[in-house]
Amino acid sequence: MEIDVLRPNKKYVICAALTGAATMKDQNPAVPYTAEEFAEEAYRCYQEGAAVVHIHARDPQTGLPTENIDQIQRVVDAVRERCPILINLSTAIRAGVPAEARIKPIEVIKPDMASLNTGSMNFALINRKTGELITETVFENTFAMLSSFARVMKENKVKPELEVYDLGHMENVRLTSLQGVFEEPRHYNFLFGIAGGMPFSVGNLAQYIAGAPDGITWVATSIGPKLQPVCNMLSLALGGNVRVGLEDNIWISEGVLARGSYEQVALAVKMGSTIGRGPATPEEARVLLNLPER
- What residues have CB less than 8 Å from 247, skipping those under 6 apart? 17, 18, 19, 20, 23, 54, 56
Query: Which alpha helices (H) appear in the chain, and where do they start and end?
Result: 35-48, 69-82, 99-109, 143-155, 167-177, 202-211, 227-237, 261-273, 282-288
| pLDDT score of 8 more than 70 | no
Determine, yes or no, domain membership for 5: no
Chain centre to alpha carbon of residue 270: 20
What's the N-to-C CA distance of the chain in angstroms? 29
Q: What is the pLDDT of residue 148?
A: 98
Q: What is the pTM of this model?
A: 0.95
Span 50-78, pLDDT tens digits:
999 999 999 999 999 999 999 999 999 99
Determine, yes or no, domain membership for 293: no
- Confidence label for 263 from pLDDT (cuts 50, 70 and 90): very high
Determine, yes or no, domain membership for 193: yes
| pLDDT score of 7 more than 60 | no
Determine, yes or no, domain membership for 4: no
C-alpha to C-alpha distance for 56 and 211, rounded to whole angstroms: 29
What is the arithmetic mean of pLDDT over 90-108? 96
Determine, yes or no, domain membership for 85: yes
- What residues have CB less than 8 Å from 136, skipping those under 6 apart? 122, 123, 124, 125, 195, 196
Determine, yes or no, domain membership for 250: yes
Determine, yes or no, domain membership for 70: yes
Q: What is the pLDDT of residue 203?
A: 94
| pLDDT score of 2 more than 80 | no
- Confidence label for 49 from pLDDT (cuts 50, 70 and 90): very high
For the chain, helix, strand, coil in percent to 5 are: 35, 20, 45
What is the arithmetic mean of pLDDT over 26-42? 98
What is the arithmetic mean of pLDDT over 187-196? 95
Please report, for the domain that includes residue 155, its CATH number: 3.20.20.70
Contacts of residues 66-71 at CB distance under 8 Å and 24 or more positions apart, as own/partner, are: 66/93, 66/94, 67/93, 67/94, 67/97, 67/101, 67/102, 67/104, 67/105, 69/104, 69/105, 69/108, 69/109, 71/35
Domain that holds residue 68: 11-288
- Confidence label for 3 from pLDDT (cuts 50, 70 and 90): low
Span 113-156, pLDDT tens digits:
999 999 999 988 888 889 888 888 999 999 999 999 999 999 99
Task: Please report, rounded to a whole number, the percentage of residues in the chain having pLDDT higher than 90.
Answer: 88
Determine, yes or no, domain membership for 245: yes
- Confidence label for 5 from pLDDT (cuts 50, 70 and 90): low
CB 149 within 8 A of CB 175: no
Longest dimension (CA), the chain: 50
| pLDDT score of 267 more than 70 | yes
How many separate domains does the chain show?
A: 1
Span 77-90, pLDDT tens digits:
999 999 999 999 99
90 vs 4: which has the higher pLDDT:
90
Q: Report CA-CA distances (Å) from 251 to 29, 32, 48, 107.
A: 12, 15, 17, 34
Q: What is the pLDDT of residue 9?
A: 75
